[in-house]
Copies of this chain bind each other. A is one copy, B any other.
Amino acid sequence: MPTIMSAVVLLSGGLDSATVLRMAHATGQRIHALSFRYGQRHTMELEMARKQALSLPGVAHRIMDLQLSLFGGSALTADIPVPKGGVDENTIPVTYVPARNMVFLSLALAWAESLGAQHLYIGVNAVDYSGYPDCRPEFIQSFQQTANLATKAGVEGHPFTVHTPLINLTKAQIIQQGLALGVDYGLTRSCYDPDAQGAGCGLCDACRLRLQGFAEAGVPDPAPYQGP
């Protein structure tokens, strides 16, 4: 009997990672999904992550507390207003959380090595990426190289691979592929500044990229938005 391989999937509860979770699950691997409670304003995402993980058979899910707010420095974790004027492709926005994907991938790596898993999945995207440096392919490649120098598994000939199945897709393509795999996008949230019920503002970068993606894909966005 062939060994079933294991993978760790970073699952935020947003649109991208919900799609990656389905893609990884469709490979037949044993999936371990990892979410973080890192002081983000939008904890509704974590409820969505939990529901996404529960919607698939055999997925183990952990939510780890992470005190990134101890460090400050981002509109997502500190008391800095979320910009709502539109996406500026040429600057790194204040919603950037310092070294976030480096931290998240390192913790995914720690879990993967403990499990004997060699595959990591992250929903970064270099097309509609909002200008974050830690969503670029050169970062991912460098991380993988470092991971294989950092770990017992890497040194002993069981290298890790970081999979980024969304990296070259537009938001519309991500949505189309996710729908084909059965993702319920009603159980995802993307807004950086939702109201108390979790309804999106429709104006922050994340809402704009998401709404534009659904419009281009020609399907309605099932997530709730605040009224006018």
Interface residues of A (CB under 8 A from B): 62, 64-68, 70-74, 92, 96-103, 106-107, 109-111, 113-115, 133-134, 136, 138-139, 142-143, 145-147, 149-152, 154-156
Contact A110 B151 (CB under 8 A): no
Alpha-carbon distance between A154 and B70 when the two chains are bound, in angstroms? 21
CB-defined contacts of A100 to chain B, threshold 8 Å: 110
Q: List 13 A-B contacts (CB under 8 A).
A: A62-B70, A73-B114, A92-B156, A98-B111, A99-B109, A99-B151, A100-B110, A102-B146, A102-B150, A102-B151, A103-B106, A106-B106, A134-B150
Do the beta carbons of B114 and A98 come within 8 Å of each other? Answer: yes
User: How many chain copies does the complex carry?
Assistant: 2
B138 touches A99 (CB 8 A): no
A72 to B117, CA, bound (A): 13
Nearest residue (CB) in B for A132 is: B152
Going nearest first, the 8 A-B pairs with the smallest beta carbon separation are A73-B114, A98-B113, A99-B110, A71-B114, A142-B146, A102-B150, A106-B106, A139-B149
Interface centre among A68, A149, A156 (most CB of B within 10 A): A149
Inter-chain contact A138/B149, CB cutoff 8 Å: yes
Chain B residues in 8 Å Cβ range of A97 = 110
Closest-CB distance, A114 to chain B (whole angstroms): 3
A62-B70, A103-B107, A114-B98 known; A92 and B146 CB under 8 Å? Answer: no
The answer to whether A106 and B111 touch across the interface, beta carbons within 8 angstroms, is no
What is the CA–CA distance of A134 and B149 in the complex, to the nearest angstrom?
7
A99, B150: Cβ atoms closer than 8 Å: yes
